Amino acid sequence: TEKYFEEATRYIFESKLGLELVNMSGSKHADGKLDFGNNESVLWDNKSSEKEYIFSEDHFNQFLKYIRANDNRVTLFLVVTSSISPESISQAQKLKAFSETDTDVALISAENLKYVAQNWKTYSNQKEPQFNLQVFNLTGELTRNILIDRMKWALQ
């Protein structure tokens, strides 16, 4: 299941959002990487869970290592999961503080990521729309309402 979840997320970023994935060497890294521009990156990691995702201390330490080991500043670390526990939002804020690089840490459900993938172009007034990663760039939970609001201004 984990492998298919990771492949589906890569597919969404690459094929549905039209973003170019950045290759990473080795095996101890986040599940994916995107270029954010200005010598910055976006990293994401998939965490499958049948219940609400619990942002454990192990995951905190794992994500912090990914952020610190990256070859440039990580502007956003995105956790893609099922549903998000309230405690996870506090952990995201803590990770932002401990990153020491002001890395935003966003949590998004797979359902909401799919919504963005299917609907983002309708929020753009451009003839040839391009997805803007600012849609995801915040610390906390990316709820449907927050995503809609951010797509309204980030995709113009």
Residue 2 confidence (pLDDT):
83
Per-residue model confidence (pLDDT) at position 97: 97
pLDDT string in tens for the chain (156-residue length) = 788 999 999 999 999 999 999 999 888 899 999 999 999 999 999 999 889 999 999 999 999 999 999 999 999 999 999 999 999 999 999 999 999 999 999 999 999 999 999 999 999 999 999 999 999 999 999 999 999 999 999 998
What pLDDT was estimated at residue 3? 87
pLDDT at 48: 92
The residue whose two tokens read 């998004």 is 108
Upper half-sphere CA count for residue 53 (Cβ side, 13 Å): 24
**Whole-Å CA distances, 62 to 12, 57, 118:** 24, 8, 30
- DSSP-assigned beta bridge partners for residue 84: 53
Torsion sign, CA atoms 49, 52, 54, 55: positive
Round to whole Å and give the CA distance between 63 and 150.
25
Q: Which two tokens stand for residue 71?
A: 């070859």
Among all chains, which residue has been given the structure tokens 């890294």?
29
Find out whether 80 and 114 touch, Cβ atoms under 8 Å: no
Backbone phi, psi, residue 40, to 5°: -125, 160
In single-letter form, the type of residue at position 91 comes to Q
> What DSSP element (H or E) covers 84?
strand 83-84
CA angle 106, 81, 49 (to 5 degrees): 145
Q: Rounded distance, CA 148 to CA 28, Å?
A: 33
Could you tell me the pTM of the whole model?
Answer: 0.96
